[in-house]
Amino acid sequence: MSRRSAIRRTLAGAVVTALALAVAACGGGDDAATSAAQPDALNPSADLKTQKLTVSNWDAYMPEDLPAKFEQKFGSRVTVTKHATNEEVMAKLTAGGDSGIDVAFVSGPFAQALAEQGLTEPIHPELIPNLSNLYPEASQLAYDPGNKFSVPYTWGTTGLCYRSDLTGYDPDSWNDLLTPKPELAKKITMLQTDRWLMLPAQKALGYSANTKNADEMAKVKEKLLAAKPGLLAFDDTTFYERLVSGEAALVEAWDGWCNYGITDNAKIKFTVPKEGSDLFVDTMVILKTSKNKEAAHAFINYVLDPEIHTWTVENILYKVPNKAAMEKLDPALAKKYPNLAITPAELMQQETLVDLGEAATDYSRIVTEVAAS
């Protein structure tokens, strides 16, 4: 996503609650791969000129000319619809009936939730030969081991984005956010989205980023409440701008978004705290209701072409799980934005976010209570 476009990770608590209840009502199980509907028999020789695709994606999250290039190459027309959040597109996909969407870009836990409801078409690897461009680690993601129902598009982690000229040192712990030095009071921001507001306290306490344990959740809430008086703000959208201007000295940030700050101020740095962090993934899924599944597979395969996927890194400043694409990058890019050089092995040391099911309502409740305190 471009740095100026609307925040794509914002989670509306009420919508999360509704989605969690919808998954439960549909009998979502623990193993999405086995819960997903059986694959349709697809024709590898299908005439793609007879198929038309509707793709739902975040604004500016793929090359603007990609649909036209795909149509020129394969003869299949692509219409792109835009969603601002995971929840917005999930509301369409889970409303019942045919949403009219063939391919949707959603984050990993949401892909998992869709699969648990039988709403995704299992991936046919034989129709996506460019899967071979992916790192081996890309098939080891906890929400979808083996890429049974989703194909990863971008991945990254969350950490500390800071200016050492303002902090006076290099922070290395989530406690630098939660119990900061007195001189950093009101110079710190934390993300306000449910999963990421909880993350620093979860990791500082040694808990899982996917915990559903009530006692652990209570302690996480307690630690967040204690941290709030020292914060400048909970901020998902302007935190890197506050860092650039000097209003903030230390912020919780997604790695790619920290890069947006580095673009404007080379003094900004990013680090993953010593307690560990998350591994988040944005994916591509094919809807079970799609009547254009061969073209949908061809579209995903096209996106995984290194000539196409490299654009994502160069323009959005997020890492992609595509080895062939990452190897095509100008080394100067990783020199300017060091977190682009985080390796797949290093990412896999972090904890992959998975669907919380009904526990998502507990996260939303705690976040609401912390924000309102």
Which pair of tokens denotes residue 64?
A: 């603007």
pLDDT(72) > 80:
yes
In 3-state terms, what secondary structure has residue 319? Answer: strand
Q: Is the dihedral of CA 159, 110, 88, 308 positive or negative?
A: positive
Average pLDDT of span 122-146: 98
What are the residues whose beta carbons fall under 8 Å from the beta carbon of 324, sequence distance 6 or more?
A: 133, 306, 309
pLDDT(33) > 70:
no
pTM exceeding 0.75: yes
pLDDT(37) > 70:
no
In 3-state terms, what secondary structure has residue 369? Answer: helix
What are the residues whose beta carbons fall under 8 Å from the beta carbon of 150, sequence distance 6 or more?
A: 108, 111, 112, 115, 120, 123, 143, 144, 283, 284, 285
152 neighbors 283 (Cβ within 8 angstroms): yes
- Residue 38: its pLDDT value, please? 60
Looking at the chain, which residues constitute the CATH 3.40.190.10 domain(s)?
A: 48-155+280-351, 156-278+355-372
Return the closest-CA partner of residue 107 out of 128, 76, 86.
86
Model pLDDT for residues 334-366, shown as the tens digit of each residue: 999 999 999 999 999 999 999 999 999 999 999
The residue among 162 and 25 whose pLDDT is bigger is: 162
Average pLDDT of span 242-254: 98
pLDDT(113) > 70:
yes
- Residue 315: its pLDDT value, please? 96
Fold of 156-278+355-372: D-Maltodextrin-Binding Protein; domain 2 (3.40.190)
Percent of all residues in the chain with a pLDDT value above 90, rounded to a whole number: 88
- Residue 345: its pLDDT value, please? 98
pLDDT(31) > 60:
no
Average pLDDT of span 142-155: 98
* Domain 48-155+280-351 in CATH 3.30.1130.10: no
pLDDT grade, residue 14 (50/70/90)? very low
pLDDT grade, residue 41 (50/70/90)? confident
Average pLDDT of span 285-311: 97
